A and B are shown apart, each in its own frame.
Chain A
Amino acid sequence: MQVYLPIAEMSVDAFLLIGIGFGVGWLSGLFGVGGGFLLTPLLLLIGIPAPVAVASGANQTIGASVSGLIAQGRRGNVDYRMGLVLFSGGLVGSVLGVQLFALLRRLGQVDLAVSFFYVVVLGTVGGLMVMESVRAMRRRGRPGHRRKLHEHGWTHGLPFKVRFRKSRLYMSVIPPMLIGGAIGLLSAVMGVGGGFMLVPAMIYLLGMHTAVVIGTSLFQVVLVTAMVTLLSAIQLGTVDILLTLLLLLGGVAGAQFGAAMGGKLRGEETRALLGLLVLLVALGLLWGLVRPPTSLFSAQREY
């Protein structure tokens, strides 16, 4: 069934969009990531103009994440206080990121920069996650071996300490704000919510309790993508609500199935799978950068 998208100004198969939404929503519920890093490339693949794909992808991520967030919230797995602290850093980071994106666009190097960021960030994050979770799986079953709750390091000397009860942390707000800021910057350049970077950062850098990591990251992703959607609608006019709603039609169902399945998997298994997926996307994009292009020329409509 063909449907005309009013902002993208093109008509596409509605069932294709619903299917893409379902797949991405499923991963979103399973791993607690928005899925933007998969959705945006997929939309580009079916011919949606890049600015519309990025903005509408962010908009769809809100819906998919809200769905997952409610599922997690019901189980009490969201640290709202930590989410707000991360977001306050993310606000600053994403405003800076938007400026960087505008600069890259003027230089005509958005494609390269985005691919490059993806390869480096996804490659690093994916590699670390796979390595760590494999180690954790090996360790499992050995009795008497228990990880320390968290390490004491230099971050504990920082001021503005706050108690994050859900995360089982008592720490300064500065590290989470810095992490939120860095991820906000990257997510504005890469056009994604940033959940796939946030999940490992919360586990390895902040030492948050694993049970609340996915719910909290979904909470932060909802806030970031809501802001990206608003900014895109106001400044660029590139949010296609029909595209969003079609993707969501599949996405909300997918997210619920994903969340249900995520409950059955062990933490390290989830992380290994997410790590592998992230690595796969990174390799695909790296291939796109080094493969001799089929056409040397590319056309881009100016908005």
Chain B
Amino acid sequence: MKALPRCLLLVAWLLLGAGGPARAQDQPLVAALSQAQVEVTTGFSGAGLMVFGSTDQPIGPGGDEIIVLARGPTRPIVIRRKVAVAGVLWVNGPAARFAAVPGYYVITGTRPAWQLLPEPERQKNGLGLDALPLESTGARAPAFRRALLEQETASGLWVEDQTPVVIEGNRLFHVRLPLPATVPTGVYKVEVLLVRSRRIVARQPLTFRVDRVGTADRIASVARDQPLVYGVICVLGACLAGWLGSVLFRRS
């Protein structure tokens, strides 16, 4: 795993640096991903994805700064608050429904976004967990949003400024996006932002997919497309396993 980023960086360096100064000037920011697809097999236990690139001016303190933002597909989530009935029995009380919660949200940068951009600019672009637009219906108290944030952060799917973007020789930046075993499948959007004198001067959108492949994918697609067949297979499979067990462990 250690050797791979080095190798990629070399390739990137050759592509970007050797491409000639003229091309780099047309595009102040060039960025790419190490993979366009992350494959989730039955043995999947998490992965990582490299975001790397270069700018036309030196990167680092006093120069260009980079922010990397990655979002996964959204899904609806309900947050419920427990209330005590008669002082002893804890039951679900008010609830807030968040219709589109990103299943993955990672933001990182050469420095935290709040240091790089003026506050209104950062809020407008939704850079940071506190600036994430989350529409909700039902209970309105801010505690519900806070609870959602805590939950997602604890699951490792929402990460803010955990590992900063690394700069190599003032020219090249790279960062590894952690993809834990629980990542949802679907299309992921990555945005690389170039910040120059506290303004976003360039942005490059990138995408990658997280797909189930092999057995895991076949199982999921049969379950989705032919639920009746899948259900019958599940029932028969369980019966067969039970029968096999009683044959194998038969004692006379």
Contacts and interface: CB of A to CB of B under 8 A. Distances in A.
Interface residues of B, number: 61
Contacts of A109: 91-92
A277 B23 CA distance: 73
Contacts of A6: 42, 212, 215-217, 219-220, 223
Contacts of B82: 293, 296-298
Interface class of chain A by DSSP: helix
Given A62-B235, A260-B251, A298 B89 contact: no
B233 interface: yes
A244 B76 contact: no
B50 to A, nearest CB: 22
Contacts of A249: 241
A245 B241 contact: yes
A253 B42 contact: no
A67 B77 contact: no
A9 B232 CA distance: 21
B89 A10 contact: no
A155 to B, nearest CB: 34
A163 B246 CA distance: 30
B39 to A, nearest CB: 11
The interface centre, meaning the residue of A255, A290, A292, A300 with most chain B CB atoms within 10 A of its CB, is: A300
Contacts of B238: 59-60, 62-63, 66, 229, 244, 248
Interface stretch (A87-95, A165-173, A233-241): A233-241
Interface of B: 40-46, 75-82, 84, 88-92, 95, 97, 143-144, 147-148, 150-151, 181-182, 184-185, 212, 215-217, 219-220, 223-224, 227-228, 230-235, 237-239, 241-246, 248-249, 251
Given A108-B92, A233-B230, 17 more contacts: A4-B40, A6-B216, A9-B182, A11-B45, A59-B234, A63-B238, A63-B245, A66-B239, A66-B241, A70-B246, A71-B246, A252-B241, A289-B90, A296-B81, A296-B82, A297-B147, A298-B80
Per CB-CB distance, the 9 closest pairs between chain A and chain B, nearest first, are A252-B245, A66-B242, A233-B231, A297-B147, A63-B238, A256-B249, A11-B181, A67-B242, A2-B45
